[in-house]
Amino acid sequence: METIAHDPATGVYPASPDYIHALEVRHPSRLLFVSGTMGLDEQGTAAPDLEGQLELIWSNLRAILASAGMTVDNVVRLTSYLRDGAFVEANQNARLQALGGRAVPTTAIVVETLRDDWLVEIEIIAAG
């Protein structure tokens, strides 16, 4: 599988170091679409704060990816659903740490989550 970032130099606003406009995936043999994943432990209990939920989300995503024989290196698209716009920076930092600084197409949306104790939810697409 080959990936190619597409960030046109003109005609669109510039990308930043942690953001790309598009990622072309050439010759993947499989795709994995992961449902929105919350910061819940194995008993289904949400961590009490944003930092804890982000840690659990990425732990949960790594477990889901591993079940498909993949790692975070296979993530090619990510959408974050944040309960509060104030969570943007912490979410960005957690994403950058989890992906080792690798930029993938990303969208963050501020939403009302299904439960008040769910502060963030992340869905991904992985390719291998």
Q: How does DSSP classify residue 28?
A: -
Three-state DSSP at 82 gives strand
- Detail the DSSP E strand segments found in 1-128: 2-6, 22-26, 31-38, 75-82, 106-110, 120-127
pLDDT, tens digit, 9 for 90 and up, residues 61-101:
999 999 999 999 999 999 999 999 999 999 999 999 999 99
pLDDT, tens digit, 9 for 90 and up, residues 99-112:
999 999 999 999 99
pLDDT band at 122 (very low <50, low <70, confident <90, very high): very high
